[in-house]
Amino acid sequence: MSRYLLRRLSHSLAVLWVVATLTFVLMRVTPGGPFDREQRLPPQVLANIAAKYHLDEPLISQYLRYMTGLIQGDLGPSYKYLDRTVRDIIISTLPVSALLGILALAFAVIVSFPAGLLAAYYHNSWTDRWCLFLATLGISLPNFILGGLLIWIFSLQLGWFQAGRWGTLSSIVLPTITLGSSAAAYLTYLLRSTLIETLGADFIRTARAKGLKEIVVIFKHAMRNSISPLLTVLGPLLAALVTGSFVVEYVFAIPGMGRFFITAVTDRDYPMIMGVTLVYSTLLVSANLIVDLLYSVIDPRVKRH
């Protein structure tokens, strides 16, 4: 087990190194730089700025400098937010995104499990069709439309919830639903289709023939066998939700990390681009690792090698 873990960990580190290197190269070949302005800065001012951030050094030494810093946990200064480090910014924004992401995932799970189950159990009935309809809606409605719609209905028309910002109970509901809806829809689809397959399997017929109660058949036998595909997507889904969504954070004015996936790039804030990319890929790699480890707990058929 520990050898397996060690091997997986070293793989993960290699993946992260590749991601870091590719990101570093890609952002530097993208046209436009962090200090390009409508009102162009005088060359001597640009030279001072370049010297401050070591942008006047050859690219390879900038890369080595960044990597050395990274190993020591130093993500560098932000070029956009003066006097703030990328680490500071991530520390203050990631928890907000993480809380929203976890709430959204919880919402998705709470909604999708009963929905997927009902749809599969009453396959081809009206219940099934309704669930499918709602799931299709959830997947195809873009977040900015759904968010705007929810604000219009629940904030402006009904006045139930705050339109924007974060921190109060009233502010949490709408962004959670917006962020969680497509995940909920996706999970419903997935659960429904695997459950339909499982419910038609021989061992379910056997279980029923043994005279087991229907509830035991569903939850002990069918669910348990349908959950591993769900687990596979839950890992990456968690990583994506926890690091924040640009759209949801923009629409609801939430001070999370998600916005930086876009703004860091439009600002060409190089260290910030590296920072958020690395946080996201670290979470993604770890989530996948944990999911792989969990397989063996849930499904004894999965053997570690």
Partner 1 sequence: MVGLTEFDRNLRPAPMVAKSWEIHDNGRKIIFRLRDDVLWSDGKSVRAQDFEYSWKRLLNPSTASEYAYILYDILNAEPYNQGKITDSDLVGVRALDDWTLEVRLKHTAPYFLAITTFEVTYPQRRDIVEKNGARWTDPSTIVTNGPFLLESWSHEDEIRLKANPGFFLGKPAIDRIEMVIVNENTTALAMYEQGQLDFIDNRSIPIFEKHRLIRQPGFRIVPQLRGYYYGFVTDRKPFDDVRVRKAFAMAIDRRIFPKILHGGEQPINSWIPPGMIGHNPEIGLPFNPSEARRLLTEAGYPNGKGFPEITLGYNTDETHKMVAEAIQSMWKQNLDVLVRLDNQEWKVYLNKLNNDPPHLFRLGWGADYPDPDNFMKLFTSTSGNNNTRWKNERYDELVERAARELDEQERVRLYNEAQRILCETDLPIISLFVTAETTVLNPRFTGLEFNSMARLMLRQVRLTEPTGANPS
Q: Which of 127, 132, 134, 164 binds partner 1 (CB under 8 A)?
A: 164
CA distances from 178 to 206, 240, 274, 298 (A): 42, 14, 27, 31
Residue 77, strand partner residues: 85
81 phi and psi angles, rounded to 5 deg: -100, 100
Contact 168, 174 (CB under 8 A): no
- Reading the block at residue 262, the tokens are 């876009």
Sign of CA dihedral 266, 271, 274, 276: negative
Please state the closest distance from residue 273 (CB atom) to partner 1, in A.
13
Residue 157 per-residue DSSP state? I
- In 3D space, the residue among 177, 181, 187 whose CA is nearest the CA of residue 112 turns out to be 187
Distance CA 170, CA 183 (A): 22
Residue list 255-274, contact with partner 1 (CB under 8 A):
255, 259, 266, 268
Q: Which of 39, 72, 124, 210 binds partner 1 (CB under 8 A)?
A: 39
Please state the closest distance from residue 278 (CB atom) to partner 1, in A.
19
Please state the closest distance from residue 170 (CB atom) to partner 1, in A.
11
- The residue (of 52 and 205) whose beta carbon lies closer to partner 1 is 52
- Reading the block at residue 230, the tokens are 């769900």
Binding mask 74-113 for partner 1 (x = CB under 8 A): -------x-xx----x--xx--------------------
- The residue (of 65 and 208) whose beta carbon lies closer to partner 1 is 65
- Reading the block at residue 204, the tokens are 């379910």
Q: Which of 1, 3, 32, 72 binds partner 1 (CB under 8 A)?
A: 32
- In 3D space, the residue among 184, 160, 179 whose CA is nearest the CA of residue 171 turns out to be 160
- In 3D space, the residue among 298, 292, 301, 296 whose CA is nearest the CA of residue 8 turns out to be 292
- Reading the block at residue 87, the tokens are 């680490």
- The residue (of 1 and 156) whose beta carbon lies closer to partner 1 is 156
Q: Does residue 151 touch partner 1 according to CB under 8 A?
A: yes
Count Cα atoms within 13 angstroms, Cβ side, for 192: 26
Q: Does residue 121 touch partner 1 according to CB under 8 A?
A: no
Q: Does residue 52 touch partner 1 according to CB under 8 A?
A: yes
| Lookup result for tokens 């959204």 | 104
Q: Which of 4, 17, 152, 203 binds partner 1 (CB under 8 A)?
A: 152
Q: Which of 12, 15, 16, 49 binds partner 1 (CB under 8 A)?
A: 49
Q: Does residue 57 touch partner 1 according to CB under 8 A?
A: no
Please state the closest distance from residue 85 (CB atom) to partner 1, in A.
8
Q: Which of 1, 3, 29, 37 binds partner 1 (CB under 8 A)?
A: 37
Interface ranges with partner 1 (CB under 8 A): 30-33, 35-45, 47-49, 51-53, 81, 83-84, 89, 92-93, 148, 151-152, 155-156, 159, 162-166, 250-253, 255, 259, 266, 268
